[in-house]
Amino acid sequence: MKKKTAFTFALALGMAISVSRAETDRDTYTNPVLCFDYSDPDVVRTGDDYWMTASSFNCIPGLPILHSRDLVNWEIVNYALDKLEPEDFFSRPQHGKGVWAPCIKFHDGWYYIYWGDPDFGIYMVRTRDPRGKWSEPVLVKAGKGLIDPSPLWDDDGKVYLAHAWAASRSGLNSIITISEMNAEGTACISDEIMVFDGNRDGHHTVEGAKLYKRNGYYYIFAPAGGVATGWQLVMRSRDIYGPYEARNVMDQGDSDINGPHQGAWVKTPSGEDWFIHFQEMQPYGRIVHLNPMEWKEDGWCTIGEDKDGDGRGEPVRKWKKPDTGNSGERYNMVTCDEFNSIKPGLQWQWHANRQDWFGFTGGYGFFRLYGHREDVPNLWGVPNLYLQKMPAGKFTATTRLSFNSKGDGDRAGLAVMGFDYACIAIERDGDKASILYITCKDADKGTAEEVTVLAETGLERVESGATPKYTTDIWFRVTAGRDGKCRFAYSTDGKSYKDAGYEFQAREGRWIGAKTGFFCSSSGTGKDRGWIDVDWFRTEPELF
């Protein structure tokens, strides 16, 4: 077995990345192709277009749809899921639950996405246009612990579904099962057959199955060994139900890219084979890599660079670009927002199903976020956090907002959110306001926030409805380094910024990277909620 080098967090964060594109020059690219948290990516090609989706867990809208013409440059163009079901269950933050490891396929003019919700079962949505409206979710199979599904429409018209199992819900793991579905792909019509047992074959934590057929063989691509330290398996059999042989076709080897994990086999129109997968990067989440793939005469493939010819590759950092015929197109992943559109920016997500009272876009040139009133110990339990993925390994994000209070104790600000979080905030105290630096350690455990008062500023009283509002404009800023360390600052005039004086180490959330964005909480006194009007949010990522 090839050498497993220890994952060094600081070394991995020092790699060459770009928020806009991964092109090194005209002919080569550099991994990661997406330095954003798109966990468990899956990709399908139709014509010259490549469509990616990924896990979104409890974040809404969910099931992101990304588009590329060359497998290197990607842009987010849509979401396939407006709300999670059951709606009432997901009306509150259910961190780490919801959409796990989706699989996107194209069959008979339809795009399908299947995903597993470990608490409720396997769901499916479909559309004829990935940029358009997707259908309402269909519960294909109800059950606990059913995750990581992948369908296959076979040559004889039969339809199959492979999936893995989550031990946290079912008490089972490290196995892959397959069952038959109806012709519409909307329901399983047979019992599961266990086709691979990683417990027996030394491949613990097998999950993320992707089911394919090639040259008369059924293939299952599946990671094993765990997210941070695992390897990529390929299994094959002449019979859909096995038995399957298995080979390790890619692991970390001597590279600094840990746990190459769970992805998609894609073939270009020119006949090249590629594999898209993720790498765990702690506060930055699970970022996306592209690796070359080669089929051998014996019917097995190798992923990555196989330096010693043993059939097991390791991830590449820099490589020749795919031959797609579309290498000239470049996209930027959106991170800034002037809030001038009535459509929300595609980078923003809530932490629970959107309720009407959360906030609104509009024609005024700002985004309005209303205060959350429920009594929760910290921001972990707040559903209307308006957040986006960390936009690069190193960045500065600045925002201007109008604070509008209807009651003492109303609070709003800019946060970096995860298991631990920090924020720069403004809070009303009578006819004035305090500028606060807030931190919370182990927020998921219900711990209390630590609050430091940095300064005071005045508020203007304005008659507004049943109760007057107290308002002021404020500018907030966060600067993050490639080590995940963040510093916050504020300004009362938009020109000179005062550093908060503290350094915060960003930390991932449950199965997701840290996120940055806005919160607003209302004291609950009186009939009206306080709110913020966010004028703009601008990022300055460092491109290296």
Residues 6+ apart with CB under 8 A from 453: 434, 435, 436
- Which residues form the catalytic set? 40, 207
Q: Which element (helix H / strand E) includes 521?
A: strand 515-521
Residue pair 141/121 in contact by the 8 Å Cβ criterion = yes
Q: Could you give the C-alpha distances from 20 to 73, 327, 376, 514, 542, in angstroms and in order?
A: 8, 15, 38, 19, 10
DSSP state letter for 371? P
- Distance CA(224)–CA(202), nearest Å, equals 9
Query: By CB neighbour count within 10 A (0-12 exposed, 13-18 middle, 19+ buried), where does 538 fall?
Result: middle
Q: What are the φ/ψ torsions at residue 78 (nearest 5 degrees)?
A: -175, 175
Cβ count near 374 (within 10 Å): 11
Type of residue found at 395: F
* Distance separating alpha carbons of residues 29 and 73, to the nearest angstrom: 10
What is the 3-state secondary structure of 51-96? EEECCCECCECEEEEEEECCCCCCEEEEEEECCCCCCCHHHCCCCC
DSSP 297: T
Name the residue among 123, 133, 72 with its Cα closest to residue 97. 123
**Distance from C-alpha of 251 to C-alpha of 263, rounded to nearest angstrom:** 13
Q: How many CB atoms lie within 10 A of CB 88?
A: 8
Q: Residue 460's CB: how many other CB atoms inside 10 A?
A: 11
Give the Cα separation of 131 and 79 in Å (integer): 8
Compute CA distances 401 → 29, 387, 426, 429, 445, whole Å.
38, 15, 11, 18, 30
| CB contact at 8 A, 397 and 489 | no
What is d(CA 442, CA 245) in angstroms, rounded to the nearest whole number? 43
- Give dist(CA 322, CA 481) in Å, integer: 31
- The total of other beta-carbon atoms located within 10 Å of residue 303's CB is 28
